[in-house]
A = this chain, B = another copy of it.
Amino acid sequence: MEHDNKVKIIFQPSGRRGEVDRGITLIEASRQLGVDIEALCGEKKVCGKCKVRIEEGFFEKFGVHSSRANASEWQEEEEKFITGTQREEGYRLGCCAKALGDMLIFVPEESRAGKQVVSKAARDIHIDWNPAVKHYYVEVAEPTFEEPTADLERVMQELELRYGLKELNVDYLALKTLPVRLRDKASPWKITVSVWMDKEIIRFLPGNREDYYGIAIDIGTTTVAAYFCNLRTMEVVETVSMMNPQCKYGEDVMSRITYHMMNPGGLEKMSEDIIEGLNSLVTRACEATHPPKKKKKGNGEAEEMTAPVEEGAETAQMVEDDEMLIFKAAEGKHYLCLNPEDVIDMTIVGNTAMHHIFLKLDPQFVGLAPFPPVIHKGLDIKARDLGLKVCDSAYVHVLPIEAGFVGADNVGVLIAEEPYKKGEVQLLIDIGTNGELVLGNREKLISSSCATGPALEGAQITFGMRAAPGAIERIKIDPETHEVDYKVIGRDAWKSFSKPEEMKTKGICGSGILDLLAELYASGVVVKSGRFNKVQKSNRYRINPDSGQPEFVIAWKEESSIGKDIVIAQKDVRQIQLAKGALYCGCKLMMRRMGIKSVDKVKIAGAFGTHVDRQKALVMGLFPDCSLDMIESVGNAAGDGARAALLNREKRNEANWVSRNVEYIELTVEQDFQTHFMEAMQIPHMKDKFPHLEGIVPPAVLDQR
């Protein structure tokens, strides 16, 4: 044991190491040393995802005597997740064990925070051109003794004369650049003025500059996507995305709100993380407009870093370690060579918690009934006041919030889909960590939020994980043999066409989970109530010796990269039931409130909507009965809304209007909520109405119910 206030910690296999304050938890140490350990529950000691192993012995390479005795005492909460054998091997929960002395810590693959495969391409939606920032080109006369008017006033006179712009304000930082830019040698007395909302001059550029750029950002709880747009042509120049760097503080919004409440300065830390993240995202979007950089090979030769592919080819995105490499068209491309200071406008959507944390607005009251946010309406903030490194004088427009958990992301979905302009009754479902629902048409719109929990995103499931390589995304279970076939992200071939060791399976992601439940039920492994069937046909069904709970093996140890069988446990089935029950019950209660029996259209937004098998979602009872062709996936509609608000200022007014004209329903206080919820948890909710599912649900199973 050391006697000063610092201890040495080494994390393996990453090899990251350093000195940290004695007494902090291992998960806090991992954060400080830049190691991503899963912390789904936000260190509430309830998810068990942050399991690590403390090694024993002297590690010469690091000059460290590592000992399990250097960790703080074993805690009761760890019992639930760490078996006796594991305990003997040195396993601890990162959120429980504190560093009291030097340690070398092994982070098992399953505990490493994976990187999600992000697919948030911009959809081709119709947007009218009317950006908040517009460019105006003017030529002014040189000052003379007769007319020695100030630089700004000369420019403003022309702006009024030529474009009818009156009583403009000017941003102070933009003003500073005027005298020199107006006298630019290459184009003296000719200037392009960027005007925000026909109210404020925010940039002067010498000469005539036609093209100018903005960025629309969707801050998701898990993923952040950015659309870099040409504000003149409305073209999406680049799409880039990243994991929300706040994931390390907890997977879901409540964990992050908790982190803020439990840690002084936690809000600032989380906010700065996302601001820094956005800055790197903007930089990356800009870098993509430059010619590929040369990289030194080991032998000193220069090498193309990005592979040239055909013109017009889709931008393929792959995640590798902390960097996202963008393979893009390199041949025949006209490089725009843009820099962050070229970004002259920005729009942002995000759920209420992401919105508040981003803005450093205290989110604690959003987490407490009756969940009032700090602000509803859209906000225009100078980027510089937020620490965003774009054009000095640019504004960031943050879209409005509807209510409590129904945030600016949902407003984004609404202004992209515009249900308030249509006669047909639409049900908009945005499944993220929470389910957000909007129902209605031009007559009336109501919204609500249902606590689906993160199960449909793969969290709080024993082997749940994000949609990252190695995650099971599709499953089939043979009704006769109960043999399992599946497909993992990052590998095209199904298991039945692969050698076991080729699969490298790590867990199950959100869309795989729904598939799994449908298959478990269709094959008769579980029954209507969600319990495991008493009649089981294969050795995949077993009782877990540690928990005493039944479980079903999806992938055997030899197919997995984490050295153990990947199973679905009874409690996991419950989690999925809770999620789908919450969603279904939410939809039904909203329909009751509207006094309707059916809807004309179901639109599913978000990554889940893109990946989910609509038929299976229907049979599982995720949403009310309708025909398959009424269900539409609308992709990242929240991001589309942010883009619409970037390219058309009227959309910002529309957003403010709709955010205050959607009636928010607090579901949990609705009459019979509990009863409806319990009923909705059954699977499948209404199989009788789906004769076409007969093929999926085998007669043998149907009989059993």
Contact = CB atoms under 8 A, between A and B. Distances in A.
Given A172-B379, A361-B175, A362-B179, A374 B150 contact: yes
A294 to B, nearest CB: 34
A364 to B, nearest CB: 8
A178 interface: yes
Which among A154, A175, A374 has the highest number of chain B CB atoms within 10 Å?
Answer: A374
B148 A359 contact: no
Nearest to A364: B179
Given A180-B362, A361-B179, A666-B145, A151 B370 contact: no
Nearest to A180: B362
A385 interface: yes
Contacts of A153: 375-377
Nearest to A360: B176
A368 to B, nearest CB: 10
Given A153-B375, A377-B153, A144 B370 contact: yes
Given A151-B373, A175-B361, 18 more contacts: A143-B370, A143-B372, A148-B664, A148-B666, A150-B372, A150-B373, A150-B374, A150-B376, A151-B365, A151-B372, A151-B375, A153-B376, A154-B372, A170-B379, A172-B382, A172-B385, A175-B379, A179-B362
Contact of A374 (B151, B359, B377, B666): B151
A381 B393 CA distance: 12
A384 B375 CA distance: 23
Contacts of A535: none
Closest 7 CB pairs of A and B: A143-B372, A148-B370, A152-B375, A150-B373, A150-B376, A179-B362, A145-B370
A478 interface: no
Contacts of A180: 362
Nearest to A365: B179
Interface in A104-162: 143-145, 148-154
B359 A172 contact: yes
Contacts of A234: none
Interface in A353-391: 359-362, 364-365, 369-377, 379-382, 384-386
A302 interface: no
A465 B451 CA distance: 78
Nearest to A363: B179
Copies of this protein in the assembly total: 2
A386 B364 CA distance: 33
A375 B175 contact: yes
Contacts of A152: 374-377
Nearest to A666: B145
A393 to B, nearest CB: 10
Which among A365, A371, A379, A380 has the highest number of chain B CB atoms within 10 Å?
Answer: A365
A315 interface: no
Nearest to A147: B370
A375 B150 CA distance: 5
Contacts of A178: 374-375
A371 B150 CA distance: 9
Contacts of A183: 365
A170 B173 CA distance: 21
Contacts of A150: 372-376, 401
Contacts of A179: 361-362, 364-365, 374
Contacts of A664: 148
